[in-house]
Amino acid sequence: MSARFGSIRYNTSMRYFRSSTLLAIVAFIAANAMPFVFGENLNLFSLLLFYWLETAVIGCYNIMKLAIIKESYAAKAVRNFAASWIIALGLYFIFLMVFTQLIPGLEREFPTLKVTLLIFFSYAGSHGVSFWQNFIGKREYKSTTAKEQIKAPAGRLLVLHFAIVIGALVFGGRLSSTIALRLFITLKTLIDLDAHFKEHAVAAKRSQRDFNAPRSDKG
């Protein structure tokens, strides 16, 4: 019985880790490690803005995913999602501006344009690799619907940003130290990586479900 249970756990773990490609995982970790490059010049305020920027990148790729899905509702879904995502980004940006004012000892120093662009392209590259390797390469688009895809990034981002905000609130001004910021980045990366695996594991499960579904004979 224990051997069977261990086998089930092993197979489940393998499906979890194999749900994404090695290149997508490497690109993901590299992009999330990019803030480490700035060392002592990094601050919590800039970091929160970087994660807001990543949210915008995720939304752009989700619009592309919706545009690829072939169904009658997809065109309307693209318009609805784009409009709601822009509004959500605006509201979240306002929230960050107000929220960071409430953290004692936090210096609100905006990153330079050069740094912002570097971070933007690293996130765009990371999510782009996942898009091509997983959504296109593994044909995830064939087993999902527009309605499912609209909801896909929401759950992942809600958990992620909730953890980010709570972490910033708990640690507050103490995140001004380089060591604390690096710990913060590491925890964010681990939480987001787990969400990445789970998202693609769900997609793989849908693909398997569709593959095993009975096919009706046609003429």
Q: Does residue 107 have a pLDDT over 50?
A: yes
Residue ranges per domain, the chain?
Answer: 47-210
pLDDT confidence tier of residue 218, bands split at 50, 70 and 90: very low
Q: What is the pLDDT of residues 52-76, one digit of tens each?
A: 999 999 999 999 998 888 765 667 7
pLDDT confidence tier of residue 209, bands split at 50, 70 and 90: low
As a dihedral over the C-alpha atoms of residue 120, residue 121, residue 126, residue 130, rounded to 10 degrees, the angle is 100
Based on its alpha-carbon atoms, the radius of gyration of the chain, rounded to whole angstroms, reads 20
145-161 mean pLDDT: 83
Q: What is the pLDDT of residues 117-146, one digit of tens each?
A: 999 999 999 999 999 999 999 888 888 888
Buried b (16+ CB within 10 A) or exposed e, 166-179: ebbeebeebbbeee
99-124 mean pLDDT: 86
pLDDT at 26: 94
CB pairs under 8 A, 24+ apart, for 53-57? 53/116, 53/119, 53/120, 53/123, 54/123, 54/127, 55/89, 55/92, 55/157, 55/161, 56/89, 57/120, 57/123, 57/124, 57/127
CA atoms within 13 A on the CB side of 80: 11
Nearest-5° Cα angle at 184, 32 to 18: 45
